[in-house]
Amino acid sequence: MPNHLHLLLTPAADVSLEKAVQFIKGGFSFRFKSKMGVWERSYNEVQILSLEKFEACRRYIEQNPVRARLAASPEEFAYSSAGRPGEVDSVPEHFLKARG
């Protein structure tokens, strides 16, 4: 999206969500090398507790550029992971274990 970012993020066990977001924002800003503000001071978070919610969030994120008329399909949007299944981490294991 041209003005915001959606992530499905599972931090490592020893990394807090706040620290993971700080790494993302700080790393990008360092590489961007601009004095211009890029990030809002906060972020929104939703805890995803089931595979069904995970899949619903993934579909919502993938459809975002289609709803914004930036692409005809999620796979066509250059900045989406929808067209790159081999480059995206798999579903977190704790969702798959809960299924049995």
Q: Residue 67 in 3-state DSSP?
A: helix
- Residue-wise pLDDT for 29-58, tens only, equals 888 887 778 888 888 888 898 999 999 999
- pLDDT tier at 73, thresholds 50, 70, 90: very high
pLDDT over threshold 70, residue 91: yes
One-letter identity of residue 12: A
